[in-house]
Amino acid sequence: MLSDTNASQQEKVELMQKKKDKHRYIEALVALFSSNTNITLNIPTQLLDSSQQTPFILITSQINEWLPRQQYPHSIPISIAGTNNSIPTLTRALLATLGIQYSSFPESILKELPDDNWQPFEAQVKQGKQQKRNKDQLIINKKNQKGNDQKQRNDFAGRRRFFSTRVFTIDPQTACDLDDAISIKLIQNNKEEEKQQQSSNIYEIGVHIADVTYFIQPGSEVDIIASDRATSHYLLNHVIPMLPKVLSNRHCSLNPNVDKLTVSCTWKVDEEGKPIGDGDIWVGRSVIRSCCRLNYEEANRRKGSIEGHKLCIK
């Protein structure tokens, strides 16, 4: 694969040949090579100029060593991104340059997580009641609880229930992972209670985020990978998630009309949004059921309207 030509010459080196549907694809890299070591010295930076018409391959490499006496570090190719005239290739090259992990999650971590059919246990019991306690259905649901104790239990135990509170999400139209929600609840209407000295209504504001820690154990493989990724990256054409999609788009996405395990924070405010006293802050684990999913345009349109008031207040 490496050339014996002089370092002052450029040679097109075939790096990859593959057959697909009886067609052969040959992609090449233009580089300089040392006649003594068969190691490329450097890739001319002018090759990265978009005005250059010569196609070449972009390779992700890892620095192996860089001794003080060496002008260039010694690196090892670890993957081929693709040709330079491809947007996906240039995107992968940019991600590699920024140190962003974009590879798929290994299949092994899926064994640590519940599958798509998993539901919190109380939700399954409710579903069983609606189906006249179909025992076969309950057994199937229990089998779908991967990595969890099969014994009868209550996933909602010790959690504050917000089922009587109107909870909703506001996200971009294209969002797939709805990881936070808000709620507004009228807890005291002073216009109807003349004995109260305060002149304005009192509301409880709530912020609810998905309880990811319920599904991920500290030190597990998915925990290590997620810690390394640190965040999700939103590109124009796709998302590089921090968590596997079964979590980010399913169990930890606060989709409407589904019971979801969350961590919540609530506090009390008056009609002007000012905290009442110390705010009477509460933080803890909870369960919510979002009533609807709004995008930013819908939320702005409803803001200050009677329609929006009816939607938010319960």
pLDDT in tens, the chain (314 residues): 333 333 333 333 333 333 333 333 333 344 444 455 555 555 555 555 555 555 666 777 777 778 888 777 777 777 776 766 677 777 877 787 777 887 888 888 888 888 888 888 765 555 554 444 333 333 334 444 444 444 455 788 889 999 989 999 998 887 888 889 999 998 876 555 445 555 578 999 999 999 999 998 898 888 998 898 888 888 887 888 899 989 988 999 999 999 999 999 999 998 888 888 776 899 999 999 999 998 888 888 877 665 655 556 55
Domain boundaries, the chain: 10-97, 156-312
pLDDT at residue 133, as a whole number = 37
pLDDT at residue 56, as a whole number = 65
pLDDT at residue 237, as a whole number = 78
Calculate helix-pair angle for 121-130, 135-143, nearest 10 degrees.
Answer: 160
Closest CA to 245 of 133, 105, 67: 105
- Helix (H), strand (E), coil (C) string for the chain: CCCCCCCCCEEEEEEEEEEECCEEEEEEEEEEECCCCCCECCCCHHHHCCCCCCCCEEEEEEEEECCCCCCCCEEEEEEEEEECCCHHHHHHHHHHHCCCCCCCCCHHHHHHCCCCCCCCHHHHHHHHHHCCCCHHHHHHHHHCCCCCCCCCCCCCCCCEECCCCCEEEEECCCCCCCCEEEEEEEEECCCCCCCCCCCCCEEEEEEEEECHHHCCCCCCHHHHHHHHHCCCEECCCCEECCCCHHHHHHHCCCCCCCEEEEEEEEEEECCCCCECCCCCCEEEEEEEECCEEEEHHHHHHHCCCHHHHHHHEC
pLDDT at residue 82, as a whole number = 72
The dihedrals phi and psi of 26, each to the nearest 5 degrees, come to -120, 120
pLDDT at residue 267, as a whole number = 94
pLDDT at residue 155, as a whole number = 85
Closest CA to 204 of 162, 262, 257: 162
